[in-house]
Amino acid sequence: PVLDSLIADTASTLYAPNVLTQVAAGRSIDCQLLVNAGMLPMQSSVYSMRYPQNRYYTLNRALAEKNGARSYILTCDKPIVWNQEPIARAFGIDTLLTRSSWRNDELVGNPAKLSDGSFMRQAVEKMQAGEIWPVGENAFLQFVTYSGHNPFRLPENLRTVTFSDRFPERMRDYMMMAHYTDSAIGTLLSYLRSRPDYDRTLIVITGDHEGLAMDRAAILDNPDARGIVSPGQYTPLIVVNSPVGGRYDAVLGQADIYPTLLNLMQLDSYRWKGMGNSILDPSKAPFAISSMTGELAGDTTAVSPEALSNIRSARAISDLIISTDAFAIMP
């Protein structure tokens, strides 16, 4: 209900439901590369494990240059997971809050980690106390939630809804967890709306990658699931307080989020534009390529063979930029 209410406000929310998952072997940390740095995953390795000391141009660095913004990443994981700690430094993040920063008082998942509900409540406490993002500070904050991770088993005491037995059990578990995380996001939004700087706060909600993985095909065998569960691996993008509202139904890739956010935050002059294209660009082709399978999703009828070839080569170019630490020699 929280996310539904946001996307219903077409005047101030930008909603793109068909963002193709483009992560590869790095999964969650690959999403940070795509969204924060506008780059595609490496072809045969994980950038955070091979090149954690590289220089990357990122959204938070762009905000720091223009507005003096301080940047934070909040996660319930340990700093060694996917090499998050050195990657945060490489991305120019000022403050990293990890597992030891939280009271682990409510656990969800396997392995059990801090629940999204407690995570958001404690994050709000820290903001109210001025420990992070004190009022008056320009800031970039990234909240990495965990409860929506496979196997989607929410403890009985946290369940507030039920779903019909006509749906497969795995689908019911997923919807139950999505409803729970939706409520946790509501806790954060409620606090943000109470801040004096809310009207100039851009709120971006997306996923690191699609969630159902190998369960998707089995769920779609159920006739009641069809039309609810997508056959494609999409991760919606919701931007609240967007200067451009409305719904973008064409297919885009996760790499297109970075340049879209540069546009929305009026950071178009930043030196690194990313490997994707902003959905605000009317010339953007309405398709994307999966990093995992190489398959095309969307409409390519108006795309020339040459342009298609260039887009297919983008991942190899991104791989070369990372492996040679090309940004280290840029001003």
Q: Where are the domains of the chain?
A: 2-329
Residue type at 56 in one-letter notation: Y
Integer Cα distance of 146 and 98 in angstroms: 12
> What is the per-residue pLDDT for 213?
87
Cβ 17 vs Cβ 210: under 8 Å: no
- Residue 289 identity: I
Which pLDDT does position 307 carry in this prediction? 85
Low-confidence ranges of the chain (pLDDT < 70): none
Class of domain 2-329: alpha beta
Q: Is the dihedral of CA 227, 229, 230, 234 positive or negative?
A: positive
Q: Are 196 and 135 in contact (CB under 8 A)?
A: yes
**pLDDT of 227:** 87
Q: Are 1 and 189 in contact (CB under 8 A)?
A: no
Say what the alpha-carbon torsion angle 105, 139, 330, 97 is, to the nearest 10 degrees: -10
pLDDT at residue 76 in the model: 97
| Residue 195 DSSP symbol | S
- Token pair belonging to 56: 């990357």
Question: Quick check: 53 and 90 in contact, CB under 8 A?
Answer: yes
Q: Is the dihedral of CA 103, 159, 143, 194 positive or negative?
A: negative
Q: Rounded distance, CA 41 to CA 205, Å?
A: 21
Dihedral in degrees, nearest 10, Cα atoms 117, 121, 194, 68: -110
Question: Quick one: tokens of 250?
Answer: 């064409």
Calpha distance 312→304 (Å, rounded): 12
Where would I find the H helices in the chain? 2-8, 28-37, 47-50, 59-67, 84-90, 116-128, 169-194, 215-220, 257-264, 305-312, 314-323
